[in-house]
Amino acid sequence: MKDYFKENQIDYIDFKDVATLRLFINPHGRIFSRKRTKLTAPNQRRLANAIKRARFMGIMPYVAN
C-alpha cells in the first residue's frame, strides 16, 4: 500500500472524517507510525494534526475503552 491520501486523491485530511482517521490508529487509540502507514512525511503530519483536532473536539477518544 502506498500513500493512502495520494492514491485516493485526498488533498485535505478532514478531522470530521472519523472513518478514515480510524484506519490509522490502533485499538488502544495510538497513532500508527510512518513505517506502518506508508504515508509521506507531510501527510503523516497532517494526519496527526487531524486526529489530535478530532480528539480535542470530542469526535474521537484519546484512549480506547
pLDDT in tens, the chain (65 residues): 689 999 999 999 999 999 999 999 999 999 999 999 999 999 999 999 999 999 999 999 999 76
Residue 65 Cα to chain centre, angstroms: 19
What predicted TM-score, i.e. pTM, was given to this entire model?
Answer: 0.91
CA-based nearest residue to 37, from 27, 28, 26, 29: 26
pLDDT of residue 1: 61
Domain at 4-57, CATH class: few secondary structures
Question: Per-residue b/e over 13-50, b at no fewer than 16 CB within 10 Å?
Answer: bebeeeebbeebbeeeeeeeeeeebebeeebbebbeeb
